[in-house]
Amino acid sequence: MTDNNESAEKANIGGDGIRIISATWVLPVTSDPIHKGAVAIEGDVIRAVGPTQRILDEFPAAEVTDFHHSIILPGFVNCHSHLEYAVFRGLLDNENFGPWMIDFLDQKSKLSRGDYEISAMLGASECVSSGITTVGESMYSGTSLTAIGIAGIRARAYQEAFGLDDNKMDDSLAQLKDLLEELEEEKGDLVEIGIFPHATYTVSANYYRAIAELARELGMKFATHLAESEEESKYIRSGSGILALDFREKVGWDYLNHEPFGVTPVKYLQQWQVYGPDFMAVHCVHVNDADIDALARRDVSIAHCPKSNAKLGCGIAPLPAFLRAGIRVGFGTDSPASSNIMDMFGEMRTAIFLHRGAAQDAGVLSAAECVQLATLGGARALGMADRIGSLEPGKQADLIAVDMEYSHFTPIHDPYSSLVYGANQEDVFFTMVAGRPLYTRKVLLTVDDEEIAAKAREVKEKLWR
């Protein structure tokens, strides 16, 4: 990989001049793969994409970097993540969703804000090194905002909100407004702030409606965990199960009455004026045809998290049905506490295997569709497709390079198939966001990953006590 390493180092060029990055393959996503292609970049914007010789002729004075036997593609858009939970990976690997939620609460309480800052930095650095250039980050402690800024990635940072007691709703809403104002002041140029009412079992109907109104008032996007598990469906439909009993007791909400609603979680939220094009539903595993139709008619987007859903025993979301309904869908890794690693190659591979296996049909999802979902699909789900998700003139220069020199890539017949069936996060050797290289020669340029890893190992000791 010597040539690629040397070229990646050379690509770390500042200034406002034209830079050209070429490779054996360029995947614009919105058009056919380009064999022996190149991308021309000026500042933070893509100027041109096409065959290498044409781009060289168009910009003869440009600085040129040749990545040789590589695939250049848009940076991955991770629609749903929890960076601040990176230190919890591998801790609760063999529990179903309900017990996992309760045990996870116990583990969360062991850490300080400083610990969460370290954990968020660990998660953000993993995003950069694995080719994730944009995250839809759901923040509990708020420490992800700093980590995202230091790492240099693009984000919508959603602040989580909780509350089942409507008697406390006015105070909770006022506190949320104040917090959102603080986050707006702290965020960097590549970050938007959003709101994340946590879930149907942690947020009351009235609070959901109030948050939706607040989001529209502030012009913010918002999202929620929805229809993730059978336990959630039981909670909404019949008022029973572990979320109605053990979980509410654990968080101190057992004094509140909970009436069964007799509907699905999707139908439940539909009653409270939550849905619209600025709303993203995360998971949607336990949905029926009427639910899918309701989400599609209101242009709700979906973050599909195949690995996390499978690992926690939640099930398989009906991705093919979402796509047939015209819903905007992107992939999410979810939390490292549930999916262990933030590897979008793993999400693509898990999705294509699960959905083909469940349908017993190899035509149900293609490798090209998976790459599209991991890039432009995610951008559409987050409402950012005008800026990112594909390699096109005028869009932001968010791109990555994947090394193809290893044996598991040889021979390459289709670059999409090679990425989905053969690649993993370790094959990424270059990451750029807004024209700024963040990762080159497999070295992080914005984060001291060795220092962060050492501190994370210290934090881990608290979780084993």
Q: What is the rounded distance in angstroms from the CA atom of residue 332 to the CA atom of residue 78?
A: 5
> What is the structure's pLDDT at 357?
97
Q: Tens digits of per-residue pLDDT, 107-146?
A: 999 999 999 999 999 999 999 999 999 999 999 999 999 9
Is position 202 within any domain?
yes
Which of 282, 458, 404, 352 lies closest to 24, judged by CA? 404
pTM of the model: 0.95
State the chain's mean pLDDT as an integer: 94
The answer to whether residues 290 and 436 belong to one domain is: no
Grade residue 408 by pLDDT with cuts at 50, 70 and 90: confident
Is position 199 within any domain?
yes
The answer to whether residues 224 and 293 belong to one domain is: yes
> What is the structure's pLDDT at 5?
52
Domain boundary among 382, 397, 428: 382
The vertex-152 CA angle with 85 and 75, nearest 5°, equals 85
Per-residue tokens: 79: 């629609």
6 has pLDDT over 80: no
> What is the structure's pLDDT at 12?
46
Is position 411 within any domain?
yes
Q: What is the rounded distance in angstroms from the CA atom of residue 372 to the CA atom of residue 354?
A: 17
Mean pLDDT of 337-356: 96
The answer to whether residues 313 and 435 belong to one domain is: no
Domain boundaries, position 206: 77-382
DSSP alpha helix (H) spans, 239-305: 246-251, 265-270, 289-297
175 has pLDDT over 90: yes
Element (H, E) at 186: helix 169-186
Residue with the bigger pLDDT between 9 and 354: it is: 354
The answer to whether residues 168 and 67 belong to one domain is: no
The answer to whether residues 103 and 238 belong to one domain is: yes
Grade residue 7 by pLDDT with cuts at 50, 70 and 90: low
Q: How many domains does the chain have?
A: 2
Domain boundary among 382, 411, 440: 382
Query: Are 153 and 182 spatial neighbours (Cβ–Cβ below 8 Å)?
Result: no
The answer to whether residues 223 and 134 belong to one domain is: yes
Query: Are 62 and 110 spatial neighbours (Cβ–Cβ below 8 Å)?
Result: no
Going through 276-370 in order, the beta strands assigned E by DSSP cover 279-283, 301-304, 329-331
91 has pLDDT over 70: yes
The answer to whether residues 57 and 83 belong to one domain is: no
Could you give phi then psi for residue 301, rounded to 5 degrees? -95, 165
Q: Tens digits of per-residue pLDDT, 238-276?
A: 999 999 999 999 999 999 988 899 999 999 999 999 999
> What is the structure's pLDDT at 124?
98
Question: If you write DSSP's letter for every residue of 202-222 in order, what string do you get?
Answer: TB-HHHHHHHHHHHHHHT--E
Grade residue 14 by pLDDT with cuts at 50, 70 and 90: very low
The answer to whether residues 431 and 313 belong to one domain is: no
Q: Alpha carbon of 197 to those of 112, 121, 286, 355: distances in Å? A: 23, 24, 19, 29
Domain boundary among 343, 367, 382: 382
The answer to whether residues 330 and 415 belong to one domain is: no
CATH for 32: 2.30.40.10
352 has pLDDT over 50: yes
> What is the structure's pLDDT at 444?
97
